[in-house]
Amino acid sequence: MNDLSARDLRVVRLRFYDILKSFLDTEPDAEKLSRWRGVFSALRREQISPGLDRSAATIHALLAEQNLADIKEEYYELFVNPFSDDKVILNGSFYRDDRIGGPSLVEFRAFLKEAGLTFDRASMLEDDSLLVMLDFMATLIGAEKDARDGDRLQHLQSRLLNEYLRPTAQSVGKRVGEVSSAAFYSACFTFMTDYLDIERALFDSGA
C-alpha cells in the first residue's frame, strides 16, 4: 500500500476500518453477510501481505461453509448474551487493569481530550471499547482530508494505534481464539490484528 497516493491510501484505510467495525457494530444479518462475502471474495484475490492474505482467505472459506444462523449464534454468545460463559469484554481497560475502568481508562480519556475526539455519552458502549477505538481511528483518518495539520493527525493516529487500539485488538482476539465454538470471529480477529500490523508498519515507514 506504500505506492498509493495520500488520498488513495486514506480511502483504502477507511474501507478497511469500515470492514473491521462491521465485525462488531451490529448483529450479522443477510445484508451484512452478503457484503462480507463480496468483500472477502475480492480480497482473497489480492496480494497485500502474507498474513492478511491468509486471514482473508480463511474468512472467505468460512463464509462459504457457515450459514447466517451459525454466525449470528457466535456473535450472540460472544458479545451479547450476559449469561454466556464465552462472553468477551471489548474494553481496553479490562485487559490493562484487570477490570473495566481504572488508570488506563483515565489515560485514554486524556488522550481523547488531547486529540479533540468527543465520545457520545448516550452510547451504550464505554469510551475504551474496541469498537469505539476503531471509530475514533476512522474519524482521525477522515479528518486528514481538509486539514492543514496532517502531521499532527498522523501522530495522533500512530499513538491511538500503538498505545490503545492494537493492544486491545490483540487481547480481545486472544480471548476469542480461546472459544472453541467461535471459528468465524476468531478468523475475524486474526484479520483485524493482521491489518493493524500493516498499519503499524505504515507509520514506522513514515508513509
pLDDT tens-digit map of 46-82: 999 999 999 999 999 999 999 999 999 999 999 999 9
Inside any domain, residue 127: yes
In this structure, how many other beta carbons lie within 10 angstroms of the beta carbon of residue 129?
23
Inside any domain, residue 154: yes
Inside any domain, residue 46: yes
Q: What dihedral do alpha carbons 141, 163, 19, 55 form, nearest 10°?
A: 130
Domain count, the chain: 1
Domain that holds residue 55: 6-205
Dihedrals phi, psi of 179, to nearest 5 degrees: -90, 110
Quick one: CA dihedral 35, 37, 16, 43, positive or negative? negative
Inside any domain, residue 134: yes
Largest CA distance in the chain: 49
Inside any domain, residue 40: yes
Q: Is 190 helix (H, G, I), strand (E, B) or coil?
A: helix
- Evaluate if residue 190 carries a pLDDT over 80: yes
Inside any domain, residue 117: yes
Dihedrals phi, psi of 108, to nearest 5 degrees: -65, -40
CATH code: domain of residue 18: 1.10.3480.10
Inside any domain, residue 1: no
Inside any domain, residue 148: yes
| pLDDT value for 149 | 77
- Evaluate if residue 1 carries a pLDDT over 70: no
Q: In this predicted model, what pLDDT tens digit does every residue of 125-178 receive, in sequence order?
A: 678 999 999 999 999 999 988 767 788 999 999 999 999 999 999 999 999 999
Distance CA 138, CA 142 (A): 6
C-alpha cell at 186: 476468531
